[in-house]
Each structure stands twice: as structure tokens, then as C-alpha cells.
């Protein structure tokens, strides 16, 4: 009998087991049984050969349509060219060198599975020396049919494979395993299985590999998706329940404190959304359990103001608040912005400061020794009620008197260790507010941020100007010339501009480069250090131009931002270092060069830097992507709407599932395989409901040990850490 814990060496033999371990990280029978097919082919069904990309490793179901043996000109011997097709008219050439004997088995009309790397020669795509396994409708016709016996069903599983371990080898291994495999006890509670009409785990694991019908395959996939969704939701609901029960310090609102005085001095009214979210946060802070809340907000919706009001409530209640920002540029911007908002209330102890106010302190890695000692003293003795900082806040030697609230800006840029390091500086678990300006699709919010209560700010403050976005085709010189002219017009009108590049320029890739687009690159992405001299000497000659990127020394970055904010620069050439937090209301136009190199959400974030004042904003998306290409369609979608939540759904459609679920997805057998955040929203909601009911009755799953073990297997330490990061 073979169980999930049985080593593959005992099932398949040492040589095969070693290949699976070395190339696919499969060690046990459980690893192999959960190595699900990537797709299923049907004999006679078309494979879209036209969609293949050069350098892609593929496995194709195709038919031999022609054979040609010809002598090679450059060296001795013959080359065998085999033309395969899918019945749609599209074909691909397979080439074999000095292997003319293959002509005897690769006969015209034979169907087979062909696996190899797509290459291109003289404009034609081909597979050089592909591995193949032939199929036959007649099981007695030749040896190939016996070799492929595991594909006897109508649906042929195609597995995630490696060059040394093609899909048919994996299929044979699975068949051998299934002959003796004893499925584990079903971990799904019987009442959930009955209520949701889920097939048993043993049947599901067999049918996912050797489906007896389309219906059986659907039911198997549905059950295994449920296992994945349920494991994640149980983990998140447990984490939320533990957080709700943990002891904390209540920080109730004070009637006539700093918050009340701050609100009374605001020169504008809060939006309805800001008031509602503010009340949710105020109620959380008033409870004797730590708040864990996610604040989503459109670019420019006023999240920082909401967080300032929360921090003042904590200061009123005798505690301190820390705002953690991912970069020095953003931390400095927050410090200046909050200083301006607080005015005298944030300068207690200074000339002109309010003696009943508090102090706002900045802690970054670039502080000089004397300034750092002074700042840390204010944090340690409690004079600094609000502390703004970067990762420097996490270092040893930064001690708080009474840390009551941690605000994390751009949460996705911090790891679990960093967040925990700051929380550990509090005597009791502090309240935590995490903020993001990257709109999150509902399913991602449920699956990745499901342990947090969620608030959404979708309403923009009054006076915010609209942003018009346009795609500038890089191969149309007239449009490009008009772009530079448009920037000059805005500068003549007294406004300022950003020019954003994908790369700094220190090499072909650098730390601020966004992920490459799926489209093949025609040239290296444009870089700040390359574009700056071109603008100064040619396109924007005569304007005051400087650059900003993450590798500049902190004092240089700060000096450039001060000059730009003061209006002493007309154009700032920058990387994505300006993506969040930079607030210069006089900036009205942004040109994003090679815009197809950026993700949808990143483009939406970037353009939020303009239109922050009374004048309307313009965002120009420069790209050489061909009209009709996926990259161009993505840019057209960004230009068509400023609704970040709609764009987040588009982004999810165009990204690989693993990108959404975390980098730890790739290469690990224990992570989610089947669940789709795009297509399985209903299932995820149902799993969430069942998980909440189950944890409500049995918080530690003590009545369901098999389920607890299953959750631990599917949501391993790496996955749990990613979920914790958000």
C-alpha cells in the first residue's frame, strides 16, 4: 500500500525517483499525486500552434503532415524535417540531425505528443530534436501504443514537466502510483462535503489524473479547488480570531483633545468616505484588542489624512504612533505633509509651537549622528507623539515609550519580519493600520488580506482635478513631437512635469526596473541617465531639468525634491521612486516612457502624481508596442478609465496567477495549484463562509485533526508568511 508519505524511491525505483526529485522537486507519493496536469488534450483536438512563442518549452498534441530528408550543406550527414500540424492550417517543423531512421516511425498521419523548445530559423518556428511519444488508435498496431497506454482515455493529461522528465514520463509514473495508492482519510468535514456537494478526496485525486469524463474531471477540480480555498480561508479566519481575542490597550477618543482641535482647524470638509472610515478606525482603537485594518484608497483619496486623525486619537489617549514608509523620499514627503497639516500642534516645545500639542519626529537612515541622537531621545521619552520613518525605525536602539499604533504605508513593500519588528517595540500588541493606494480585486482581498478588516476610500476630495490619459505611439514622430510641445505648453503656463523611465541606467537591469512585459523587447528600456541629457540638449532644451532615482544619495534626493516642490525645476526625470507619496500640486503633466514596461496598477499609481492641484492633469503613455498587441491593449485600458478598482480587475486578468498569490508559488509542490482568483470568486466566498462558521465553533480545529493537518500541508510556512505579509 502506498500512502502520501511513501518515498517515490519505493514506488518507482531509484533512477526515476531521482529524476523527479532533481528536476521537479517531487520526493513523496503525495508530492506526485498533487502534481496536477496543467491541461488536457483530446486526440484530434486543435492545438493553437500560432500562439507559440520563441524560447517557450512546449508540449504539443499534433499530427505528422509531411517528412523530408535532405543533405546538410555545412557538414556531413542528413537532416530530417518533420512537419506537424493541428488541423487548423498552422504548422511547425521538427528537425532531427543524422537520425533518418526516425522516418520509419514518424509516418504521415500519425498523432503524437511532441515536447521541446520553440526556436526560429529564417522566420519559421521549429522544434530542434524534440522528444515525442506517438499515439495510435489501434492498440495492437505497434509498440508506441503500449508505451502510451496511460493515455488510453479520451482526455490526455499534460503535466508541468522538465526537459529531462517529459509529460508522458510523469503520466506513466502517476499510473504506476495509482495502482497501489491509498488515499488519505478525507479531511473535509462531512457536513461541509454534503452541503457543498463535494466529491470524496480519493475519487478527486484519481479523476484529476485519469478523468473518466469531462463531468468527472470538473467535479475533481472543483473539490481540489475547495481544499485549497478552504485551507487558506481557515488560516486567515483563525488569524483574525486570534487577533480579535489578543489583549491590547484601548485608545478611546478624547472629547477636547488634539484630534478635535485638528478637525476644527481643517480648511476643508472631510469627504463622506473619510468620515465613515474615520469612525470605523476610531471604534477599533477604542477596543481593548489590537486593530488590524487594511485601508484601501484611490490615488489622492486622502488616506494620509485618515491616518493622521487615527494617530492623533492615540496621542490623545497617551500613546505614540509610528508611520512606516518604504523609501526615504516617501518618508520625508509624509513628514513634511503631516507637519504642514498639524502646524503648531506638531511643534510642542519649539518657538511658536502649541505647548499642549505633540512633536512630530523623522527617523531615517541618512540622519547625522547628532540629529539621530536627538530624534531617538524624543521617541524614547515620549515627547514625539508621532514618529515617521523608514526601515530605520526597526533597528535596535529605536525605543518607544508607549507605542500604541503602527501605520504601514504601501504595505506590499514590507515583509512580515519588518512589520513584526516594529510591533515588538510595543509593551502590548499595538493597533495596526496598513494602507495601500493599489486597488485590490475582491478575490485578492479575500485571499491575501483576509485576516484584516477592510475599509475602502473611493471618493476623491473636493477640488481634485480630473486626469486625462492618452497613449502616444512611439513610432509616430508627429505624436512624439506633439508630446514635447505639450510639456512646454504646461511649463509656459507656470506648471511642472514628470518624465518617468523604467530604468536608472546603471546596467541592463536595476532594482527599480518593473517586471518585463510579455511582449518581446525590441531594445533595452529607456533609462533616466540616458534620457536626461537628451531632454536638456534637444527635446526640452532651455527648461530647468533634473533627475531623481533610488540609487542617489539621500541628501541629493532630498535636495532635488525640495527644488521641484519649490518650483525651481520645470521637469523631473525619474524612476518609479515617485510612484507613491510625492505630492507637488503644481505638477500637471506626466510622460511615462516605455509605458508598456509597467504594470497596470503601477501606471495608475504613477499618474496619480499629477492633477493634485486646481489645474487638470495629463498623463501621456509612450509606447512602441504594436496596435492590437496585449501590451497596447493594456495601455488603452489604462487610458480609458481612472477607476482603479476596474483597472485592478484588468490587471488580474493579464497577470499570471502565481504573481498574485506570491513569488513563493513557483517551484513549490505544496502551494495552490488550481484555484483561480479571477474565475473562482464564488467558490472563495463560499469557502470563507464555511471557514468562519467552523472556526466560530472550534477555533483550533481540535475536532478535525485531519483538516488541521491538511491546512498545514497546503498552507506551509512560506505560504503563511506570504499571507501574513499581505
pLDDT, tens digit, 9 for 90 and up, residues 156-186: 888 888 878 888 889 889 999 999 999 989 9
Same domain, yes or no, for 422 and 476? no
> Which pLDDT score is estimated for 359?
94
Closest CA to 180 of 10, 1, 32: 1
Q: Is residue 669 classed as helix, strand or coil in its secondary structure?
A: coil
Q: Phi, psi (5° rounding) for residue 126?
A: -155, 165
Give the pLDDT confidence of 127-139 residue by residue, as tens digits: 888 888 887 654 3
Residue 74 CB burial class (10 angstroms; 0-12, 13-18, ≥19): exposed
For residue 715, what pLDDT band results from cuts at 50, 70 and 90?
low
Domain membership of residue 218 (yes or no) is no
pLDDT of 540 > 70? The answer is: yes
> Which pLDDT score is estimated for 657?
47
Cell of 507: 546596467
Same domain, yes or no, for 445 and 486? no
> Which pLDDT score is estimated for 498?
96
For residue 143, what pLDDT band results from cuts at 50, 70 and 90?
very low
**What average pLDDT does range 676-699 have in this prediction?**
89
> Which pLDDT score is estimated for 424?
78
> Which pLDDT score is estimated for 144?
41
Proportion of the chain in helix, strand, coil states, percent, rounded to 5: 40, 20, 40
From CA 606, how far away is CA 585, in angstroms rounded? 14
> Which pLDDT score is estimated for 89?
77
pLDDT of 248 > 70? The answer is: yes
pLDDT of 696 > 70? The answer is: yes
> Which pLDDT score is estimated for 190?
94
Say which residues have a Cβ less than 8 Å from residue 453's Cβ, sequence separation at least 6.
280, 284, 291, 292, 293, 294
pLDDT of 499 > 50? The answer is: yes
The DSSP output letter for 391 is G
User: How many angstroms from the chain centroid is the CA of residue 645?
Assistant: 15
pLDDT of 535 > 80? The answer is: yes
Same domain, yes or no, for 452 and 337? yes
Domain membership of residue 706 (yes or no) is no
Same domain, yes or no, for 480 and 373? no
Better pLDDT: 720 or 333: 333
Q: Give the position of cell 514625539.
A: 384
Same domain, yes or no, for 392 and 313? yes
Same domain, yes or no, for 476 and 417? no
Residue 100 CB burial class (10 angstroms; 0-12, 13-18, ≥19): middle
pLDDT of 466 > 80? The answer is: no
Domain membership of residue 192 (yes or no) is no
From CA 500, how far away is CA 587, in angstroms rounded? 13
Domain membership of residue 560 (yes or no) is yes
Same domain, yes or no, for 448 and 473? no
Q: Which residue blocks in 467-553 are alpha helix, DSSP H?
A: 477-492, 528-534
Give the pLDDT confidence of 63-100 residue by residue, as tens digits: 899 999 888 776 778 889 999 987 777 888 999 988 88
Least confident of 170-184, 394-408, 520-534, 703-717: 703-717
Same domain, yes or no, for 441 and 483? no
Same domain, yes or no, for 439 and 557? no
Query: 598 and 502 in contact (C-beta within 8 Å)?
Result: yes
Closest CA to 672 of 236, 218, 186, 231: 231
Closest CA to 531 of 594, 462, 476, 587: 594
pLDDT of 522 > 80? The answer is: no
Domain membership of residue 196 (yes or no) is no
For residue 205, what pLDDT band results from cuts at 50, 70 and 90?
very high
b/e sequence 560-572, b meaning 16+ C-beta within 10 Å? bbeebbeeebbbb
> Which pLDDT score is estimated for 601?
79
pLDDT of 600 > 70? The answer is: yes
From CA 717, how far away is CA 723, in angstroms rounded? 10
Structural domain boundaries enclosing 363: 258-457
For residue 296, what pLDDT band results from cuts at 50, 70 and 90?
confident
- For helices 214-245 and 201-209, the axis angle rounded to 10 degrees is 130
From CA 581, how far away is CA 54, in angstroms rounded? 40
From CA 662, how far away is CA 554, in angstroms rounded? 30
> Which pLDDT score is estimated for 625?
86
With a pLDDT cut of 70, the percent of the chain lying above it is 84
**What average pLDDT does range 701-716 have in this prediction?**
81
- Dihedral sign for Cα atoms in the order 346, 350, 355, 361: positive
Task: Answer with the one of 615, 641, 667 that is the final residue of a domain.
Answer: 641
Q: What is the mean pLDDT of the chain?
A: 83
Same domain, yes or no, for 442 and 297? yes
pLDDT of 726 > 60? The answer is: no
pLDDT of 506 > 60? The answer is: yes
Q: Is residue 188 classed as helix, strand or coil in its secondary structure?
A: coil
Query: 52 and 125 in contact (C-beta within 8 Å)?
Result: yes
Residue 382: CATH number of its domain: 3.40.50.300
Q: Phi, psi (5° rounding) for residue 48?
A: -75, 85
> Which pLDDT score is estimated for 417?
61
Residue 108: CATH number of its domain: 2.40.50.140
From CA 258, how far away is CA 320, in angstroms rounded? 13
b/e sequence 428-462, b meaning 16+ C-beta within 10 Å? ebbbbbbbbbbbbbbbbbbbbbbbbbebbbebbbe
pLDDT of 29 > 80? The answer is: yes
Q: How far apart are the first and last CA of the chain?
A: 41
Separation in Å, CA 78 to CA 67, 74, 195: 13, 11, 64
Q: How many CB atoms lie within 10 A of CB 96?
A: 20
Q: How many CB atoms lie within 10 A of CB 285?
A: 26
Closest CA to 422 of 383, 392, 386: 392
From CA 434, how far away is CA 412, in angstroms rounded? 9
Task: Answer with the one of 406, 429, 457 that is the final residue of a domain.
Answer: 457
From CA 80, how far away is CA 68, in angstroms rounded? 6
For residue 513, what pLDDT band results from cuts at 50, 70 and 90?
very low
Least confident of 77-81, 365-369, 530-534, 662-666: 662-666
Better pLDDT: 570 or 714: 570
pTM: 0.66
Residue 713 CB burial class (10 angstroms; 0-12, 13-18, ≥19): middle
pLDDT of 148 > 50? The answer is: no
Q: Phi, psi (5° rounding) for residue 142?
A: -160, 180
Cell of 111: 498523432
From CA 437, how far away is CA 435, in angstroms rounded? 7
> Based on the structure, what is the number of domains in the chain?
3
Domain membership of residue 630 (yes or no) is yes
Same domain, yes or no, for 447 and 319? yes
Task: Answer with the one of 120, 137, 154 that is the final residue of a domain.
Answer: 137
Query: 513 and 502 in contact (C-beta within 8 Å)?
Result: yes
User: How many angstroms from the chain centroid is the CA of residue 433?
Assistant: 20
**β-strand pairing of 467-473 with 617-623:** parallel
pLDDT of 510 > 80? The answer is: no
Query: 610 and 584 in contact (C-beta within 8 Å)?
Result: no
Least confident of 173-187, 393-407, 685-699: 393-407
SS (H, E, C) 566-632: CCCCCEEEECHHHCCCCCCCCEEEEEECCHHHCCHHHHHHHHCCCCCCCCCEEEEEEECCCCCCHHH
Say which residues have a Cβ less than 8 Å from residue 190's Cβ, sequence separation at least 6.
none
> Which pLDDT score is estimated for 396?
77
Cell of 491: 511649463
> Which pLDDT score is estimated for 576?
85
Least confident of 291-300, 445-454, 676-685, 702-711: 445-454
**β-strand pairing of 467-473 with 403-409:** unpaired
Beta bridge partners of 138: none
**What average pLDDT does range 493-513 have in this prediction?**
77
Give the pLDDT confidence of 35-56 residue by residue, as tens digits: 999 888 765 455 567 777 777 7
Domain membership of residue 719 (yes or no) is no
Cell of 353: 509651537
Domain membership of residue 129 (yes or no) is yes
For residue 653, what pLDDT band results from cuts at 50, 70 and 90?
low
**What average pLDDT does range 202-224 have in this prediction?**
94
Give the pLDDT confidence of 665-683 residue by residue, as tens digits: 333 444 568 888 778 889 9
Same domain, yes or no, for 283 and 422? yes
> Which pLDDT score is estimated for 663?
35
Residues in the chain: 726
Query: 465 and 617 in contact (C-beta within 8 Å)?
Result: yes
Give the pLDDT confidence of 419-465 residue by residue, as tens digits: 667 777 888 889 989 888 766 766 677 766 677 788 888 766 666 66
From CA 492, how far away is CA 543, in angstroms rounded? 10
Amino acid at each position: 500500500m502506498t500512502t502520501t508519505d511513501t518515498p517515490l524511491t519505493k514506488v518507482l525505483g531509484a533512477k526515476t525517483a531521482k529524476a523527479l526529485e532533481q528536476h521537479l522537486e517531487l520526493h513523496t507519493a503525495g508530492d506526485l499525486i498533487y502534481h496536477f496536469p496543467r491541461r488536457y488534450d483530446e486526440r484530434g483536438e486543435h492545438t493553437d500552434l500560432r500562439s507559440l512563442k520563441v524560447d517557450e518549452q512546449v508540449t504539443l498534441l499534433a499530427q505528422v503532415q509531411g517528412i523530408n530528408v535532405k543533405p546538410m550543406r555545412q557538414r556531413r550527414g542528413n537532416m530530417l524535417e518533420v512537419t506537424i500540424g493541428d488541423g487548423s492550417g498552422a504548422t511547425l517543423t521538427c528537425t532531427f540531425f543524422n537520425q533518418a531512421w526516425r522516418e520509419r516511425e514518424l509516418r504521415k498521419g500519425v498523432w503524437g505528443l511532441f515536447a521541446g523548445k520553440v526556436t526560429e530559423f529564417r522566420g519559421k518556428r521549429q522544434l530542434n530534436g524534440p522528444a515525442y511519444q506517438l499515439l495510435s488508435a489501434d492498440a495492437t498496431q505497434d509498440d508506441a501504443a503500449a508505451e502510451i497506454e496511460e493515455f488510453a482515455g479520451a482526455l490526455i493529461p499534460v503535466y508541468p514537466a522538465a526537459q529531462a522528465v517529459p509529460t508522458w514520463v510523469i503520466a506513466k509514473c502517476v499510473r504506476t502510483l495509482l495502482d497501489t495508492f491509498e488515499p488519505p482519510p478525507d479531511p473535509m468535514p462531512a457536513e461541509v462535503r454534503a452541503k457543498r456537494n463535494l466529491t470524496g478526496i480519493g475519487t478527486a485525486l484519481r479523476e484529476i489524473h485519469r478523468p473518466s469524463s469531462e463531468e468527472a474531471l470538473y467535479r475533481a477540480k472543483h473539490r481540489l479547488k475547495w481544499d485549497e480555498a478552504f485551507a487558506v480561508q481557515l488560516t486567515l479566519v483563525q488569524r483574525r480570531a486570534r487577533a480579535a481575542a489578543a489583549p491590547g490597550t484601548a485608545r478611546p477618543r478624547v472629547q477636547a483633545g488634539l484630534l478635535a482641535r485638528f478637525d476644527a482647524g481643517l480648511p476643508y470638509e472631510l469627504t463622506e468616505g473619510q468620515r465613515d472610515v474615520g469612525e470605523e478606525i476610531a471604534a477599533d482603537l477604542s477596543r481593548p484588542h489590537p486593530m488590524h485594518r487594511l485601508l484601501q484608497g484611490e490615488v489622492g483619496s486622502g488616506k494620509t489624512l485618515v491616518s493622521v486623525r487615527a494617530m492623533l486619537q492615540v496621542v490623545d489617549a497617551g500613546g505614540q504612533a509610528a508611520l512606516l514608509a518604504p523609501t526615504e523620499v516617501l518618508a520625508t514627503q509624509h513628514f513634511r505633509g503631516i507637519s504642514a497639516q498639524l502646524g503648531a500642534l506638531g511643534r510642542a516645545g519649539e518657538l511658536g509651537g502649541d505647548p499642549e500639542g505633540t512633536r512630530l519626529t523623522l527617523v531615517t537612515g541618512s540622519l547625522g549622528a547628532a540629529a539621530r541622537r536627538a530624534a531617538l531621545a524624543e521617541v524614547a521619552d515620549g515627547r514625539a507623539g508621532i514618529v515617521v520613518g523608514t526601515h530605520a525605525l526597526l533597528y535596535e536602539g529605536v525605543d518607544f515609550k508607549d507605542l500604541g499604533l503602527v501605520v504601514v504605508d504601501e504595505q506590499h513593500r514590507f515583509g512580515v519580519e519588518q512589520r513584526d519588528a516594529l510591533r515588538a517595540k510595543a509593551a502590548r500588541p499595538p493597533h495596526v493600520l496598513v494602507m495601500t493606494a493599489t486597488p485590490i480585486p475582491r478575490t485578492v482581498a479575500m485571499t491575501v488580506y483576509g485576516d484584516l478588516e477592510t475599509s475602502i476610500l473611493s471618493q476623491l476630495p473636493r477640488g481634485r482635478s480630473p486626469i486625462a490619459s492618452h497613449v502616444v505611439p512611439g513610432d509616430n514622430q508627429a505624436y512624439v513631437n506633439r508630446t514635447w510641445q505639450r510639456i512646454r505648453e504646461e511649463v509656459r503656463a507656470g506648471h511642472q512635469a514628470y518624465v518617468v523611465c523604467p530604468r536608472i541606467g546603471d546596467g541592463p537591469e536595476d532594482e527599480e526596473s518593473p517586471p518585463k512585459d510579455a511582449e518581446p523587447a525590441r531594445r533595452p528600456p529607456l533609462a533616466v541617465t540616458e534620457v536626461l541629457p537628451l531632454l536638456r540638449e534637444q527635446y526640452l532644451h532651455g527648461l530647468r531639468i533634473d533627475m531623481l532615482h533610488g540609487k542617489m544619495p539621500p541628501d541629493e534626493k532630498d535636495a532635488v525634491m525640495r527644488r521641484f516642490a519649490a518650483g525651481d525645476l520645470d521637469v523631473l526625470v525619474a524612476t518609479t521612486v515617485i510612484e507613491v507619496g510625492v505630492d507637488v500640486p503644481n505638477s500637471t503633466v506626466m510622460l511615462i516612457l516605455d509605458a508598456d514596461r509597467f504594470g497596470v496598477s503601477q501606471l495608475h499609481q504613477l499618474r496619480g502624481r499629477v492633477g493634485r492641484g486646481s489645474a487638470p492633469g495629463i498623463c501621456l503613455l509612450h509606447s512602441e508596442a504594436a496596435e492590437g498587441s496585449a501590451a497596447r491593449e493594456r495601455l488603452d485600458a489604462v487610458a480609458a478609465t481612472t477607476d482603479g478598482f476596474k483597472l485592478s480587475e484588468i490587471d488580474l486578468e493579464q497577470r499570471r496567477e502565481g504573481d498574485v498569490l506570491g513569488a513563493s508559488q513557483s517551484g513549490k509542490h505544496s502551494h495552490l495549484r488550481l484555484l483561480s482568483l479571477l474565475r473562482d470568486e464564488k467558490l472563495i466566498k463560499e469557502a470563507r463562509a464555511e471557514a468562519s462558521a467552523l472556526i466560530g465553533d472550534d477555533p483550533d480545529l481540535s475536532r478535525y485533526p485531519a483538516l488541521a493537518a491538511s491546512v498545514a500541508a497546503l498552507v506551509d510556512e512560506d505560504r503563511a508568511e506570504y499571507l501574513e505579509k499581505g
